[in-house]
Amino acid sequence: MNILVVDDNKFIREVVSAMIIDNGHAAIKADGHKQALDELKKDTIDLVLMDIEMPEVNGFELTIMMREEHPQWFPIIFLSSNDSEEYLTKGIDAGADDYLTKPVKQVILSAKIRAMERIANMSGALARANKQLEILSSIDPLTQILNRRGLEEVLANAWQVNERQKGELSILMVDIDFFKPYNDNYGHPQGDKCLKQVSDSLSETLNRSTDSLARYGGEEFIVVLPFTPKDGARFKAKELISSLLRKKIKHEYSSVLPYVTISIGIATKCAADNIVNATELIKNADIALYQAKEQGRNGYQTFITDV
């Protein structure tokens, strides 16, 4: 661990640092609040050992400053020759996690470091687990692409960037043609397999890191294409349709072809458009999708906005 020792007394700093090094950890020394805060900005600090009685800014005040400026948790242990209950209570209230009286004994400091290391490791594991849960909550379990929640986050971000840079944002609403008769005749397990195959085909055709694919619901998908004008969106729609046809996924119950096909609705937000939000953009893509189905499916239509 990287352990920050904050004490205005050089002798105490050196003694405590030597104990830390003997325990196999790295000691980083600071003589007061300015150097301590600078070290926190430079290095990843796993534990802080801090004197309370320091000039200018005492340990209580410095702890509050650390907690405000660095929201990520790390343990703080106070070192003080004052062992009064008032000091202990004030230290914990300020944001410290433990309290040791001076002179510090090697065996006690070693035990405290081991205990804080265990807590820090558990905290890190919990943070990683929470991050993983957050990621999983945005992923569709069947297709392993973004779900509706993930789409909302991606689209909101794309919308903000588009507004800031006055670019063009396109979305494609994709629907599997005659998916209900596919499910009814081949069964739901095969239907799930079909959804995964279509999802994989769409993913393979998106070749920019800025593009995103999400399952919107049922057999519908949405493709988000930042910095893409109408012509670029039409080109991508053609690619998506052709790529899936090359897979030749059998569909004997389709009225279009004996293979699984898709229909696509395109909507684009330009700087001159009066589209107010991403929800309206999705609505426009849905209207264009309906038009694509009316035109015979296995194709695409573009929503024409009123400027």
Could you confirm whether 85 is annotated as catalytic?
no
Instruction: Assess whether 101 and 197 both reside in one domain.
Output: no
Instruction: Assess whether 174 and 121 both reside in one domain.
Output: no
pLDDT value for 202: 97
Instruction: Assess whether 126 and 189 both reside in one domain.
Output: no
Q: Which of 32, 99, 100 is nearest to 66 (CA)?
A: 32
Is 243 a member of any domain?
yes
Residue 10's CATH number: 3.40.50.2300
pLDDT in tens, 25-76: 999 999 999 999 998 888 788 899 999 889 889 989 999 999 888 877 888 9
Per the CB < 8 A criterion, the answer to whether 50 and 79 are in contact is yes
Is 140 a member of any domain?
no
Instruction: Assess whether 205 and 101 both reside in one domain.
Output: no
Q: How far apart are CA 285 and CA 148, in angstroms?
A: 16
Catalytic residue among 117, 219, 220, 280: 219
Instruction: Assess whether 218 and 292 both reside in one domain.
Output: yes
Could you say which of 101, 135, 169 is where a domain stops?
135
Number of separate domains in the chain: 2
- Percent of the chain predicted with pLDDT > 70: 94
pLDDT value for 81: 82
Instruction: Assess whether 185 and 125 both reside in one domain.
Output: no
Containing domain of residue 21, as a range?
Answer: 2-135
pLDDT in tens, 250-270: 999 999 999 999 999 999 998
Instruction: Assess whether 128 and 156 both reside in one domain.
Output: no
Measured between alpha carbons, how far apart are the two ends of the chain, in Å?
60
Phi, then psi, of 75 in degrees rounded to 5: -70, 145
Is 34 a member of any domain?
yes
Instruction: Assess whether 155 and 275 both reside in one domain.
Output: yes
Could you say which of 135, 158, 183 is where a domain stops?
135
Q: What is the DSSP letter of 17?
A: H
Could you say which of 87, 104, 135 is where a domain stops?
135
Structural tokens at position 277? 């939000």
Show the CA angle centred on residue 45, arms to residues 42 and 50, nearest 5°: 110
Q: Which of 279, 281, 268, 175 is nearest to 226 (CA)?
A: 268
Residues contacting 193, CB < 8 A, separation 6+: none
116 versus 134: the higher-pLDDT residue is: 116
pLDDT in tens, 207-217: 888 899 999 98
Instruction: Assess whether 121 and 8 both reside in one domain.
Output: yes
113 versus 283: the higher-pLDDT residue is: 283
pLDDT in tens, 130-185: 666 666 678 999 999 999 988 998 999 888 888 888 889 999 999 999 999 999 99
Instruction: Assess whether 114 and 30 both reside in one domain.
Output: yes
pLDDT value for 181: 96
**pLDDT band of 101, cuts 50, 70, 90:** confident
Residue 282's CATH number: 3.30.70.270
**Residue 213, CB half-sphere, CA atoms under 13 Å: how many?**
23
99 versus 48: the higher-pLDDT residue is: 48
Per the CB < 8 A criterion, the answer to whether 252 and 178 are in contact is no
